[in-house]
Amino acid sequence: MCYSTALRKQREKIEQRILRQIPATFSKESTFEPYFHLNGFTHGNLQIITMDKPEHIVDAEWGLIPSWSIHNPEGFRKKSNTLNARSESIFEKSSYAESAESKRCLILADGFFEPHHENGQAIPYFCYQPSDAFPEGDIFLFAGLYNELDSKTLTTTILTTEANPFFMEIHNKGKRMPLILDPNFFEDWLDDGMTNQEINEIMVTGITTKAFKAHPVSRDFYKKGIDTNQPYIIEPVQKDTLF
């Protein structure tokens, strides 16, 4: 599962980093501002690169609305959680099949949160991919799907896969992880000539091999009525102070 993300860098830094891997810059319509915690259940905007316009980074509401429900998106969201989609079954699920074939996207982040369970308690962990340039967490791209809600609004979902050994230790109950693509597969993922078999192969073999780090953060993360879109929510804490 991946229901909360971070994208802490300014637009200029993001574009500088992304342009080394894929030629995309922010669209004029994007409302992006850096954030430390976006809760998917608020259906706020993620920043994505689409098959239709791969030269632009655009906004998309988190939580994919399939074509057959665009007349009643709120009704769909009350019944269905499409913040994540299991990569193993996207061609089998009616909510995702159309997008899997022709509306794939890359979703930008520089961190995300996962629950770690100990003694019956959930401990929030912040996960990030350090680099020499950004030891606090570099930009990476999730594999995603999207759809048009109307002429101005996109919706999106993050693909998940079976956890690797590192994330099995972090997300030790669900044992899933978001599908983070290796840069070598960015262009292929957005290629409209890919067959279903080729797409499935990317989802199995195209996962990043770059190391991640993770640490526990404040349990304010789980509390209602607290603005956790603040720098402190990604700061490490001692687990013995959480309870």
Structurally, how many domains does the chain consist of?
1
The mean pLDDT of 63-86, rounded to a whole number, is 96
Quickly list DSSP for 122-148. EEEEEEE---SS-TT---EEEEEEEEE
Does the pTM surpass 0.75? The reply is: yes
- Counting residues of the chain whose pLDDT is more than 90, the rounded percentage is 93
Q: Residues 93-132, buried b or exposed e (16+ Cβ, 10 A)?
A: eebbbebbbebbbbbbbbbbbbbbeeeeeebbbbbbbeee
Contact (CB, 8 A) for 137 and 214: no
CA gap 239, 144 in Å, rounded: 32
- Give the pLDDT confidence of 153-201 residue by residue, as tens digits: 999 999 999 999 999 999 999 899 999 999 999 999 999 999 999 999 9
Residue 100 pLDDT grade (very low, low, confident, very high; cuts 50, 70, 90): very high
For residue 150, give its domain range.
4-241
Q: Say yes or no to pLDDT of 243 above 60.
A: no
CATH no. for residue 179? 3.90.1680.10
**DSSP label at 222?**
G
**DSSP label at 239?**
G
